[in-house]
Structure 1
Amino acid sequence: MRILLIILFFLMVTQSLTSIMQVKYYQKFIRKITEKFDHCSTYELYTDVSKGSLFKTIVAVVIDANGKIINCYACKGLTIFARFRKEEVYHNITLAEIHQKRINQDRVNSIENVLDKIYLRKMEAISDI
């Protein structure tokens, strides 16, 4: 019983440390993006998460005033090992186009799913005004 408690304690400490590492990585990455686009007030940064059964997808997207994607970064996989990667496929596509694709197709990938969530959140904020 004592060994089981020691193992459980070790696993809890390990999980806490790796969670802290992931949060620090996320904060550093977001800070880097905001500093890069800080000079232009027409750009907006959005982030959102799509949780799968085992893996997570975190998307950070910079859009202009027209909703066109300037930069899109995705972090997919087991959170502890995943790193943000630039997704060039979505460059110069509008969030409205992603939303329309989601409406027309039954299945879209996890990044497009998150981009659609961002679009809907953005439209909800506009309609609340």
Structure 2
Amino acid sequence: MTTGLVILLIVLILSQGLFSIVQVKYYQSFIKKITTEQAGTEYEFYTEVVKGKVLRTIVAVVVDRDGRVIQCYICKGLTIFARFKEEQTYKGAQLVNYRTAAAEKRAPQVEKALSKIYTRKLEAVT
């Protein structure tokens, strides 16, 4: 019985390592795709991770100099199965509108991420 448990643990650990590698490769290829598309433009690209109680949400946004969202991508769910999806809801929104969302407990995770991105963009200017 103990040998079976040890084998199961080894398989689980190896699977987790393999799934992590797959997820990192996907993330890197997504980031490379977006940065290649935006190369040579005046737009800026930011990513932010917001941790929930169980799952985490990754938000990637392309913004113009004034802080207006040009593109917004959201990745949430279990790591290996999660993929970035473009979210049209935030397209054209101003980051400044989300400046206090990070402090609000009931704010959606995407808006908390946009608040953190706004803060980072503001720090980059000063």
| Residue 51 (structure 1) aligns with | 51
Q: CA offsets, 1:42-85, max 9 Å, x none?
A: 11100010111211100100001111110000001112111101
- Shift in alpha-carbon separation, 1:96–1:13, aligned structure 2, 3 A: same
In structure 1, stretches of 5+ residues that fail to align are none
TM-score, normalised with respect to structure 2:
0.92
| Residue 71 (structure 1) aligns with | 71
Task: Give, in angstroms, the shift of residue 2 of structure 1.
Answer: 1.5
Amino acid at match of 2:10: F
| Residue 9 (structure 2) aligns with | 8
CA distance in 2, matches of 1:28, 1:98: 28
| Residue 33 (structure 1) aligns with | 34
CA distance in 1, matches of 2:102, 2:50: 18
Amino acid at match of 1:116: S
| Residue 118 (structure 2) aligns with | 119
Aligned length: 125
CA distance in 1, matches of 2:121, 2:54: 27
Displacement over 4 Å in runs of 4+:
103-106
Task: Give, in angstroms, the shift of residue 107 of structure 1.
Answer: 2.3
Where do residues 87-106 of structure 1 align in structure 2 (5 Å cutoff)? 87-99=87-99, 102=101
Task: Give, in angstroms, the shift of residue 104 of structure 1.
Answer: 9.7
Percent identity, please.
Answer: 48
Aligned-residue Cα RMSD (Å) equals 1.7
